[in-house]
Structure 1
Amino acid sequence: MFTDLPLDELRTYRPPLPEPPGFDAFWERTLTEARAHDLAARFTALDTGLALLRTYDVTFAGFGGHPIRGWFLIPRAAAGPLPCVVQYLGYGGGRLRPHDWLLWPAAGYATLVMDARGQSGPDRPGDTPDPAGYRNPGVPGRLTQGLLAPDDYYYRRLFTDAVRAVETARGHDEVDEERIVVAGHSQGGALALAMTGLVPGLAGALIDAPFLTHIRRAVEITDAGPYGELGRYFAGARDHVDTALDTLDHFDGLNFAVRATAPALFATALRDDVVPPSTGFAAYHHYAGEKELKVWRFNAHETGGTDQRAAELGFVRGLFG
């Protein structure tokens, strides 16, 4: 069933921004601290049996100088420097295997896939631990880790890793540093959206069902995971709800959207109970760069699936020719 406001209302839905005091200063300080560590990007060639690609195991220094893993794939036949798609991952999974990321190299672009620290699963393996602890008790999952202070919050580390992934791609000799596109679905969409506000000079962004956007509304209208983790936490941590929401405001996609300059393709689905469509529409309406929106009326969190990928291919082709 449709899970949110009627489509006519969604087309004009533009809620107030949840911007906390000192938002820009918080992120400037966070990224300055991260850049105090040498990026130390390493690309180790692998023989994966993918004869038409060159494949590399990537490591670079993310938040706190912690080593972050990834994959880098580049078409053997293409002459560089190439455009590059930096790919971010959905919630609860890792970087998988190189053969899981063939779309963009097959289209002729370089691809850097960033692993998500501390996330993995039996069918979505990852290789990056999260060595930083967190100070408050939380419910299972990542969404409540360090939730009582912006400096401690898990997503401060993950968003910083995502910025450093773009810097890693830009530093590769066969990548055109002015033609970087960030991409992701759900949690990956949250990261891509955040990058449009944190990283200047991006060529484009593919923002599919962005999580961590218009968070205060999302936690009130869905119990589905991962937002359900917040509801379960708030049910027990009754005295900490306002403090936690203030922390979350530092990571809300709406605050990055208004700072964006890159052209973006958004997607949302009207039956999505994981990332409610009003939150995606809110990000789209606040987005300050050039933008397009694909609305999938009878789909859920998968949005347009393979049809969305086709739309993304067309969008990126339009950026680069």
Structure 2
Amino acid sequence: MSVPTPHPFDFDPTYGMTLEQLLAVRPPPAPEGFAAFWEGRYRKALAVDPMPSLSGSTASHPDWQVSDIVYTSTGSFQIGGWLLVPRTGIVRRGLVVGHGYGGREQPDFDIPVEETAILFPCFRGLSRSARPPISESPAWHVLNDIDKPDDYIIAGCVEDLWLAVSALIRLFPETAGHIGYSGISFGGGIGALAIPFDKRIDRGYLEVPTFGHRPLWLTLPTTGSAQAVQIYQRRHPDVLENLRLFDAATAASRIAVPMLMAPALFDPAVAPPCQFAVANAPPKFNESFILDAGHFDYVGAAAQRALLREKIGKLFKAP
């Protein structure tokens, strides 16, 4: 593997770290009350009736029946998205698919799964779940109630994922115990926070996940959402104390289901050491597929993607 060069950034998106050094990055210790904070939120989320509602969609595909979906998350927040059901065969598994901080304009039709109902939620405040006064800009979305851990929007997004699982089970009871999660970047960080506390999720795929190792996340130069929080930190130096509750690497150390992780050696938007802190964290059942780069086009990307696609298909193969 080789990292891309040249690049247009005024910092080194490898942060001068070798693969050996990246594989040695460990998650930071959990702050006091970490597990209780998330377990309490999960219990409250389980008590919410998602009331999923389906309607016809303008999107279409020869292999998938596509529906628009709206379900209720915590705080009565209405979450919009898409539901894909195979046109032929039966549904034996469920899959929730998150998105990056750019939101989502349509479902992905090339996920290599069969006999699987796929739910593509848009996390609160973004795309089909946009709602004023929440900004859809990543630089502002990531700051929404950042000073209030109980109200921080990232916590709400984790709950949106849990309620997506509830919605799938409501629509397809046969998927209970057979639901996976796939997330990239922003969605990867949300997944790392959600999976260890939801026993209904039986496996996961996280690609270039963000929100890992917050102490590093707040110090390394970046083009991503961390940049906005770093600017905020200059005026609010105590922000790290709140963010320790939202550390994807700390949470990932509690994951106990099969995982496929895809961290990158070079990434201007999510610093690789923060990604590897997440990828290295699960104590078992963990496989890593190391990408040359994330959030950046590079020679050899298509070949790597083809190999990665095979691994994703195997991970989420219907039982």
Residue equivalent to 2:150: 151
Residue equivalent to 1:271: 266
Partner SS state of residue 288, structure 2: strand
Check 1:129–1:300 CA distance in 2 against 1; reply closer, same or farther (3 A cut).
closer
Check 1:300–1:173 CA distance in 2 against 1; reply closer, same or farther (3 A cut).
closer
If the length of structure 1 is used for normalisation, what is the TM-score?
A: 0.84
Residue equivalent to 2:99: 89
Matches within 5 A, 1:35-114: 35-46=46-57, 48-80=59-91, 82-93=92-103, 95-97=104-106, 100-104=107-111, 107-114=114-121
Q: Distance in 1 between matches of 2:112 and 2:84?
A: 6
| RMSD, matched Cα | 2.6
Partner SS state of residue 58, structure 1: strand
Asked if structure 2 preserves the Cα contact closer than 8 Å seen for 1:269 and 1:301, the reply is no
Residue equivalent to 1:258: 253
Residue equivalent to 1:301: 295
Residue equivalent to 2:317: 320
Letter in 2 for 1:182: Y
Cα deviation, residue 130, structure 1 = 3.8
Asked if structure 2 preserves the Cα contact closer than 8 Å seen for 1:33 and 1:64, the reply is no
Query: Is the deviation greater in 225-234 or in 39-48?
Result: 39-48
Letter in 1 for 2:130: P
Cα deviation, residue 175, structure 1 = 5.0
Letter in 1 for 2:241: D
Cα deviation, residue 277, structure 1 = 1.3
Asked if structure 2 preserves the Cα contact closer than 8 Å seen for 1:204 and 1:262, the reply is yes
Partner SS state of residue 111, structure 2: helix
Check 1:305–1:69 CA distance in 2 against 1; reply closer, same or farther (3 A cut).
farther
Q: Distance in 1 between matches of 2:251 and 2:75?
A: 22
Residue equivalent to 1:203: 202
Q: Distance in 1 between matches of 2:219 and 2:248?
A: 17
Asked if structure 1 preserves the Cα contact closer than 8 Å seen for 2:95 and 2:117, the reply is yes
Cα deviation, residue 16, structure 1 = 3.2
- Out of 270, 275, 279, the position equivalent to 1:280 is 275
- Out of 18, 21, 27, the position equivalent to 2:32 is 21
Matches within 5 A, 1:168-187: 168-173=167-172, 176-187=175-186
**1:8 aligned onto 2:40:** no
Residue equivalent to 2:8: none
Residue equivalent to 2:5: none
User: Larger relative CO (CA 8 A, sep 6+): 1 or 2?
Assistant: 2
- Out of 227, 241, 245, the position equivalent to 2:237 is 241
Q: Distance in 1 between matches of 2:58 and 2:224?
A: 37
Asked if structure 2 preserves the Cα contact closer than 8 Å seen for 1:59 and 1:68, the reply is yes
If the length of structure 2 is used for normalisation, what is the TM-score?
A: 0.85
Check 1:105–1:12 CA distance in 2 against 1; reply closer, same or farther (3 A cut).
closer
Residue equivalent to 2:212: 213
Q: Distance in 1 between matches of 2:145 and 2:75?
A: 15
Q: Distance in 1 between matches of 2:172 and 2:187?
A: 25
Partner SS state of residue 34, structure 1: helix
Letter in 2 for 1:314: K
Partner SS state of residue 286, structure 1: coil
Number of residue pairs matched?
A: 302
Letter in 2 for 1:43: L
Asked if structure 2 preserves the Cα contact closer than 8 Å seen for 1:53 and 1:73, the reply is yes
Residue equivalent to 1:223: 222
Letter in 2 for 1:273: P
Check 1:70–1:305 CA distance in 2 against 1; reply closer, same or farther (3 A cut).
farther
Q: Distance in 2 between matches of 1:191 and 1:250?
A: 13
Asked if structure 1 preserves the Cα contact closer than 8 Å seen for 2:46 and 2:166, the reply is no
The C-alpha deviation readout for 1:207-262, integer Å capped at 9, x for no partner, is 00001111210221123221110121122x1xx322x1111111111222121111
Partner SS state of residue 217, structure 1: helix
Q: Percent identity?
A: 24
Q: Distance in 1 between matches of 2:275 and 2:85?
A: 32
The C-alpha deviation readout for 1:246-293, integer Å capped at 9, x for no partner, is 111111112221211111111111111211111122122221340111
Asked if structure 1 preserves the Cα contact closer than 8 Å seen for 2:138 and 2:225, the reply is no
Q: Which runs of 5+ in 1 are unaligned?
A: 120-125
Check 1:313–1:188 CA distance in 2 against 1; reply closer, same or farther (3 A cut).
farther
Letter in 2 for 1:129: A
Check 1:142–1:2 CA distance in 2 against 1; reply closer, same or farther (3 A cut).
closer
Cα deviation, residue 13, structure 1 = 2.1
